Structure 1
Amino acid sequence: MAAKKILMLVGDYVEDYEVMVPFQALLMVGHIVHAVCPDKSAGETVRTAIHDFEGDQTYSEKPGHLFALNADFAQVEAADYDALLVPGGRAPEYLRLNEKVLRLVRAFDQAGKPIAAVCHGAQLLAAAGILAGRECSAYP
């Protein structure tokens, strides 16, 4: 398989496992992955969070790691990428309020490029208005 160039949209308190594992796995199989966050540049970091179910009615949240960004959000264009990946956590809660983020998501959709959203990442897709009439898959 030819290497693909994948854009990953992240922000502070992205879910640790949902950002670290796909990022590393995609790199491991030879893809190029650019992790970006609005208002941050390559070399800066976002904080991650670890969510866990410990028997309460909802999950608990603990500090995760610092995840290093490797590209600048201000310079990304959907045309330069083959696919989009949006991890979950709390980051999508506020990223969905950023019009530049929503325009970027819509550009991937309009170009017919693959878009993957993990857990709360679907909030971005819903806010961008691209889910209507779409078939979404989830794995138990």
Structure 2
Amino acid sequence: MSGKKILMITGDFTEDYETMVPFQALQAVGHTVHAVCPDKKAGDTVATAIHDFEGDQTYTEKPGHRFALNADFASTDPADYDALLIPGGRAPEYLRLNEQVQSMVRHFFETDKPVAAICHGAQILAAANVLKDRKCSAYPACQPEVELAGGRFAGIDVDQAVTDGNLVTAPAWPAHPAWLSQFFKLLDR
């Protein structure tokens, strides 16, 4: 596997594990990952949140770490990247409203480059209008958004992932082994 250049779009209250684990894992195997956030530059940080499954009707949320961005959003050109990574958490809820984020996401689908999204990351995919006729997993509460965007929601176990063409998605961080394994395969094609 030769090292690829991967763009990670993240923001405040991104899910801690869904941001830090792939960021580090992808670098550990030789890829370059640039983490960006609208209106922030390299060296700025975003707040993270730890979402857990503790028997309640939905996930619980606890404060996470500060995650340091390593690239400037304003100068980011998606054409410079081989793949896209979208973590979940609460960040996608507001990031999806950013037209430049939507445009960047569409670039990766128009050019058939690998895209990995997890949990609430599907909210950004839906807003970018790239899910039509695509199988997409996400946190179960995002099912209506996936379907309203024309996607086919994959209601898989929380530790599983699904690949449809250039897109690999998963419900939440317990799927990291399956999700990252499938993303690695897309990166190696």
Q: TM-score, with normalisation over the residues of structure 2?
A: 0.72
Which residue in the other structure is 2:85 paired with? 85
| Structure with more contact order per residue of length (Cα contacts < 8 Å, sep ≥ 6) | 1
The alignment status of 1:110 with 2:115, answered yes or no, reads no
Which residue in the other structure is 1:8 paired with? 8
Which residue in the other structure is 1:124 paired with? 124
Which residue in the other structure is 2:141 paired with? none
Which residue in the other structure is 1:31 paired with? 31
Which residue in the other structure is 1:44 paired with? 44
Distance 2:85 2:44 in 1: 19
Deviation at 1:52, TM superposition (A): 1.3
Structure 1: gaps of 5 or more residues: none
Deviation at 1:134, TM superposition (A): 1.8
Paired residue type of 2:124: L
Deviation at 1:2, TM superposition (A): 1.0
Deviation at 1:107, TM superposition (A): 1.2
Distance 1:135 1:15 in 2: 23
Distance 2:135 2:53 in 1: 29
Moved over 3 A (4+): none
Distance 1:127 1:104 in 2: 12
Deviation at 1:55, TM superposition (A): 2.1
Distance 1:77 1:5 in 2: 12
Tell me the matched-pair count: 140
Deviation at 1:59, TM superposition (A): 1.5
Deviation at 1:117, TM superposition (A): 0.3
Distance 2:112 2:51 in 1: 32
SS at 2:135's partner residue? coil
SS at 2:84's partner residue? strand
Per-residue CA deviation, residues 24-51 of structure 1 (Å, 9 max, x unaligned), is: 0000000000000000000000000001
The alignment status of 1:73 with 2:73, answered yes or no, reads yes
- Note the aligned Cα RMSD (angstroms): 1.2
Per-residue CA deviation, residues 54-93 of structure 1 (Å, 9 max, x unaligned), is: 2221111100000000000011111100000000000000
SS at 1:79's partner residue? helix
Distance 2:4 2:87 in 1: 18
Which residue in the other structure is 1:135 paired with? 135
Distance 2:109 2:55 in 1: 38
Structure 2: gaps of 5 or more residues: 137-161, 163-168, 176-189
